[in-house]
A and B are shown apart, each in its own frame.
Chain A
Amino acid sequence: MPTDTGVGLVQARQLHFDTPLELECDATLPAYDLSFETYGSLNAEASNAILICHALSGDHHAAGRHRPEDRKPGWWDNCIGPGRPIDTDRYFVVCSNNLGGCSGSTGPASTNPATGRPWGPDFPMVTVGDWVRSQARLADALGIERWHAVIGGSLGGMQALDWTIRFPRRVQRAAVIAAAPKLSAQNIAFNEIARHAIRSDPKFHDGRYLEQGDVPGVGLRLARMLGHITYLSDDGMRARFGRDRRADQARFNFDVEFEIESYLRYQGESFVNRFDANTYLLMTKALDYFDPAQDTGDDLAAALAPASARFLVVAFSSDWRFSPKRSREIVRALLARKKRVSFLEIESDYGHDAFLMPIPLYHRALAGFLETPA
């Protein structure tokens, strides 16, 4: 297959799990569905499987197209496919929608079997650890005892890190990209504003908007616009939008005038059409709660002690959401325990979003990491 076609047409799959899942918040999900996609084929020894963990607003559709007319392929299509860094000619790639999501896995928009109505705000808080345990069950169901690699950017990187601690023997390699060992106060502050925007929207109805046939669009739009500012860098925004206007003259009103306004409004609008507000609340809380060192007296190195994977930690120079300094915290902790780790900081203007970009050096390093012995 020529390399420029990617994985081609793909179909999402769904698995039902009826073994109850005890969550970190002490609630129990009696049963749940996970939506996922796979690309490439699992070899006879089941030794070539790679798990991709998605970030805040991602889903299981990481590569290819569902229909030929789809305008855009999956969110990491530039990295996954024949001849691409995550090479589907060699690897069996799995990506699942996180529990609590809104793309087919059980989440707040699903029906609560106890009431027959949407879960809404009653859906329990899920954590990174809960996701990882649910992904482990998916691995069991697919016959994958050990991942060739677990890979994730941002919140996905946190899942990859959690995998290496929670299931050390099931992970041969972990690529932790544009991530942080835990959120800073500033990170949590941004999340809180996003949540506040959603929850104070009159159409939020205390989270029961689906039952009311409503959508808290204003709040969700604001949350997304805010998020996008933190995904880009100042230099990147300047280069891409500058102070460009849609018309030559100032109009002296509040319509869209600058290109950056148009971009943010577009991003906000398209998000409202595809994402569930309650899921957004849950995902941001999962980010806030993530802290593998909380049980080891704030000692990340001690928390990482069980890990046996080979690590690749990648950061991007202009990422201020999870800056290279945050990645270095992970590297330092791994080095303190003499774990096998490589660290690479990529020069880029794309800010946090850089982890989704086809930057040649980044892709070369990732491919090299995956194909060398664990």
Chain B
Amino acid sequence: MTLRADLELMSRWIEPNAALLDLGCGDGVLLDTLTRDRGVVGFGVEIDPELVADCIERGLNVIHQDLDDGLADFGDAAFDYVVMTQALQAVPHPHRLLRDMVRVGREAIITFPNFGHWRTRWALAIGGRMPITETLPHPWYSTPNVRLCTVRDFEELCAIEHVSILERVMVDQRHRSNAMMQRLPNLLGEIAVYRVAAQ
């Protein structure tokens, strides 16, 4: 099985034998890979009970809960890394979750769809409608993505919340990257991948 490209990218950041918390871990593919390949000691959090059972069948540690309820059950600095892929834009209180993530993890790794990408800007500015793209395929009335933000928005939130940005990589829908995306991240990057920590 090949790892999804964004997961591949993140797994490069994660040191061997680290303690890792994966928020919205799905069927546990990232955790499973990191556990086997890197000796990571991992926990997952997942809201879908069928996916929780998938994780259990893989022998993973997984907690069935809604991320909206926060991470109160996890202690301060309990993990080396807290990872959340493509979920920040779907929770009702992203700022609280960000705060919780850098409390629970030494570092947090976060990915989200960049609403500042030229294609979404174009759809809104010229089309005059909420953008529907490969990254954001849902119509406005049924989208789970209720807290969309741009690269600049997110970095402003980090500043407000006293969160340091350690690294940023912009990628496209297929998780390919190039120098232009890094130079004009908010315009050319479709998906933002951040490594952050509490200041």
Chain A residues within 8 Å of B, Cβ to Cβ: 310, 312, 328, 331-332, 335-336, 338, 340-347, 361, 364-365, 367-369, 372-373
B117 → A minimal CB distance (Å): 37
Nearest B residue to A324 via CB reads B64
A335 touches B73 (CB 8 A): yes
Tell me if B58 is interfacial: C-beta within 8 Å of chain A: yes
The stretch from B47-55, B107-115, B124-132, B135-143 touching chain A is: B47-55
In the complex the two chains form, what is the Cα distance from A372 to B19 in whole Å? 20
A365 touches B56 (CB 8 A): yes
**Count, chain B residues at interface, CB 8 A:** 21
B61 touches A364 (CB 8 A): no
Output the residue of A344, A347, A373 with the most chain B CB within 10 A: A344
In the complex the two chains form, what is the Cα distance from A342 to B75 in whole Å? 17
Nearest A residue to B43 via CB reads A335
Interface residue from A342, A367, A373 paired with B55 (Cβ < 8 Å): A342
Give the residues from 29 to 65 in chain B that come closer than 8 angstroms, CB to CB, to chain A: 43, 49-50, 52-53, 55-65
Interface of A (DSSP majority class) = mixed
In the complex the two chains form, what is the Cα distance from A223 to B77 in whole Å? 48
B78 touches A344 (CB 8 A): no
Q: List 18 A-B contacts (CB under 8 A).
A: A312-B56, A331-B63, A332-B73, A335-B73, A335-B74, A338-B19, A341-B63, A342-B56, A342-B62, A343-B64, A343-B65, A344-B52, A345-B64, A347-B49, A361-B49, A364-B57, A368-B58, A372-B57
CB-CB under 8 A from A328, the residues of chain B are 73
CB-CB under 8 A from B61, the residues of chain A are 310, 340-342
A335 touches B56 (CB 8 A): no
Interface residue from A310, A331, A344, A373 paired with B49 (Cβ < 8 Å): A344
CB-CB under 8 A from B52, the residues of chain A are 342, 344, 365
CB-CB under 8 A from B64, the residues of chain A are 343-345
B55 touches A335 (CB 8 A): no
Chain B residues within 8 Å of A, Cβ to Cβ: 19, 43, 49-50, 52-53, 55-65, 73-75, 78
Interface residue from B60, B73, B78 paired with A338 (Cβ < 8 Å): B78
A162 → B minimal CB distance (Å): 22
Output the residue of B50, B56, B74, B78 with the most chain A CB within 10 A: B56
In the complex the two chains form, what is the Cα distance from A365 to B73 in whole Å? 22
CB-CB under 8 A from B57, the residues of chain A are 364-365, 367-368, 372
User: Given A342-B56, A342-B61, is A335 in contact with B49 using a C-beta cutoff of 8 Å?
Assistant: no
CB-CB under 8 A from A365, the residues of chain B are 52-53, 56-57
B63 touches A343 (CB 8 A): yes
A373 touches B59 (CB 8 A): yes
Nearest A residue to B62 via CB reads A342
B21 → A minimal CB distance (Å): 10
In the complex the two chains form, what is the Cα distance from A332 to B64 in whole Å? 12
CB-CB under 8 A from A312, the residues of chain B are 56
In the complex the two chains form, what is the Cα distance from A194 to B59 in whole Å? 41
B43 → A minimal CB distance (Å): 8
In the complex the two chains form, what is the Cα distance from A361 to B55 in whole Å? 12
**Given A338-B19, A347-B49, list of 17 further CB < 8 A pairs?**
A312-B56, A328-B73, A335-B43, A336-B75, A342-B60, A342-B62, A343-B63, A343-B64, A344-B49, A345-B49, A364-B57, A365-B52, A365-B56, A367-B57, A368-B58, A372-B57, A372-B58
